Amino acid sequence: MPDYALPDSVPPGSTAERILDAAEDLFAERGYSATSLGDVADRVGIRSPSLYNHFRNKEALYRAVMERLVMAFSGPITELRAGPITQDRVLEWLETIVRQHHANPNLARLLQHAALSGGPATGELIEQLFRPMFDSSRPFEDEPGPVLGDAGLQPWAVMAFNNLVMSYITMAPMYRDLLGQDPFSESALEQQLKLVKTLLQAVFEYRGHTMLS
């Protein structure tokens, strides 16, 4: 009975991994406190006390779920943060994030729950995922336009685009009927990518006054 389960200490197909899979889905859907270990166990096909052979308690399971998600997410992202900042690289970064969240929507959902209700390790989450986005607010190599060029506005723009991508995931169920297609289909992904990249392009090329003194 390990105190915690590092992602790589969990062999694929093992019970521990199946627990993580089930718990990830349930935590992402319902949040920390609304998820019961009984439901997790049911989904795995075992009894809830058996979970304790793999995780110390509910909180340890939750933290293991988050750690695995953050690991899988930040791998491809951190590579992109090295090197110069240009319009093309920011577009690339945006597309990567969109595709990542689309491939596994659970991180976005879990983050949203954490933002609304707190829960264990919320502070660590912020530091690991959001701090880097703001620390990399270095100046552009090429011309970013008045919005992203304004050092006071840039963090807000970073936040806005991140929110845009994440809320597409977390709000998707609300729009399913309205859009007339599954928001997680391939074609919806392409549509969302098109929109979000066009939006960023529009910001790059925008030369107007910034709307307010």
Partner DNA sequence: ACAGGGGACTAATAGGCATTAGTATACCCT
Partner DNA sequence: AGGGTATACTAATGCCTATTAGTCCCCTGT
Q: Which residues have a Cβ under 8 Å from the Cβ of 120 and sit 6 or more positions away?
A: 32, 59, 62, 63
**Smallest Cα–Cα separation from 125: which of 114, 133, 136, 138?**
114
Torsion of CA 154, 156, 161, 164, to 10 degrees: -170
Residue 81 binds to a second copy (criterion: CB under 8 A)? no
The span from the CA of 162 to the CA of 204, in Å, is 16
Residue 201 binds to a second copy (criterion: CB under 8 A)? yes
- Note whether 53 and 1 are within 8 A (CB): yes
Site string for DNA, 25-64 (x = CB under 7 A): ----------xxxxx-x----xxxxx-xxx--xxx-----
Residue 53 binds to a second copy (criterion: CB under 8 A)? no
57 binds, among a second copy, DNA, none (CB under 5 to 8 A by kind): DNA
Residue 131 binds to a second copy (criterion: CB under 8 A)? yes
Instruction: Tell me how far, at minimum, the Cβ of 35 lies from DNA, in Å.
Output: 6
Instruction: Tell me how far, at minimum, the Cβ of 97 lies from a second copy, in Å.
Output: 14
The span from the CA of 31 to the CA of 106, in Å, is 11
Count of residues touching DNA (by CB under 7 A): 21
Residue 115 binds to a second copy (criterion: CB under 8 A)? yes
Residue 185 binds to a second copy (criterion: CB under 8 A)? no
What would the 3-class secondary structure string for 35-88 be?
CCHHHHHHHHCCCHHHHHHCCCCHHHHHHHHHHHHHHHHHHHHHHHHCCCCCHH
- Note whether 124 and 111 are within 8 A (CB): no
Nearer to DNA, 14 or 185 (CB): 14
Binder among 14, 137, 167, 181 for DNA (CB under 7 A): 14
- Note whether 93 and 137 are within 8 A (CB): no
Q: Which residues bind a second copy (CB under 8 A)?
A: 28-31, 33-34, 109, 111-118, 125-126, 130-131, 134, 147, 153, 155-157, 159-160, 163-164, 166-168, 170-175, 177-179, 190-199, 201-203, 205-206, 208, 210-212
Q: Which residues bind DNA (CB under 7 A)?
A: 1, 14-16, 35-39, 41, 46-50, 52-54, 57-59
